[in-house]
Structure 1
């Protein structure tokens, strides 16, 4: 028996494209940080960059997993594949562990990261929203 999909509303496509752009910006941020581009280093003080450079390798790996799985999950949403939910859960979990470490565990040595902290909460909220959105889309049979 063929699996019949419901036609998603226009807002499904809008949200999916915005989410892809958001996660694409995350990939750009990861690449900029990994390769220490001028646009990256211009946005931080020497002390902030030293703190970021001292983060453990697993933290950097989680950053990569969070953003690349976020992009993949959003592409899968646009392709209307249910596996998007699993991939977006992976993205959320990687981001959550990473942000918990950054927000509550790592010693920032008194260096001000207040803007990064605000952004960290936004990242978590949006990643959690995408888990809900993919789950909702699956329940509505917009993705299979």
Structure 2
């Protein structure tokens, strides 16, 4: 198997990579706010919603952490033009799917939080899929080494 020559990515590659980095950094910030139960985080939720969050099983919390931290590292590697970014985005997508399973199937957050939970979950899933596909395409085009 031969490696493709390392070609220069177009400007839109960098735009997407920076958007991915910002998106995943926001995910990490949300995870840390939830993990540390900051006052700002708690002010966004009702007592019932906070109880639901406090009762989240460890596996779902771990899935959240894996999703956001693997996504952030994948984004950094994408900016550094490293092929391993796709592996991290795959791991991130797995974390997203596990977390969404918990949130939408196990506890039905749409009933507790409302339709915004389903909308945001869909956006997160779509972004996870698209950034994974983007990283694989970038690798095929020889933009990643």
Q: Which TM-score bucket, shorter chain as reference?
A: over 0.9
- Specify whether residues 23 and 108 from structure 1 end up closer, same or farther in structure 2 by C-alpha distance, changes over 3 A only: closer
Distance 1:128 1:2 in 2: 25
Q: Call closer, same or farther: CA 1:22–1:107 in 2, change over 3 Å.
A: closer
TM-score (norm 1): 0.93
Superposed CA offset, 1:2-61 (max 9, x none): 973110000000000000000000000000000011111111111001011111011101
* Aligned twin of 2:9: 8
Q: Which residue matches 1:134?
A: 135
Change (3 A) 1:2 1:67: closer
Verify the 8 A CA contact 1:48 1:111 in the aligned structure 2: yes
- Aligned residue pair count: 144
Cα offset for 1:107?
A: 5.2
Root-mean-square deviation over aligned CA pairs: 1.8
Structure 2: gaps of 5 or more residues: none
Separation of aligned partners in 2, 1:101 and 1:43? 21
Kindly state the Cα deviation for residue 110 of structure 1 after the two structures are TM-superposed. 4.9
**Other-structure match for 2:126:** 125
The match for 1:48 is 49
How far apart, CA to CA, are the structure 1 residues paired with 2:70 and 2:111?
32
Describe the SS at the equivalent of 2:5.
Answer: coil
How does 1:93-112 map onto structure 2 within 5 Å? 93-106=94-107, 110-112=111-113
1:82-111 per-position Cα deviation (integer Å, ceiling 9, x unaligned): 000000000001111110221122255952
Normalising by structure 2, what TM-score?
A: 0.93
Q: Separation in 1 of the partners of 2:129 and 2:96? A: 10
Q: Decide whether the 8 Å contact of 1:82 with 1:143 is kept in 2.
A: yes
Q: Which residue of 2 aligns with 1:79?
A: 80
Give the Cα–Cα distance (whole angstroms) in 2 for the partners of residues 106 and 138 of structure 1.
38
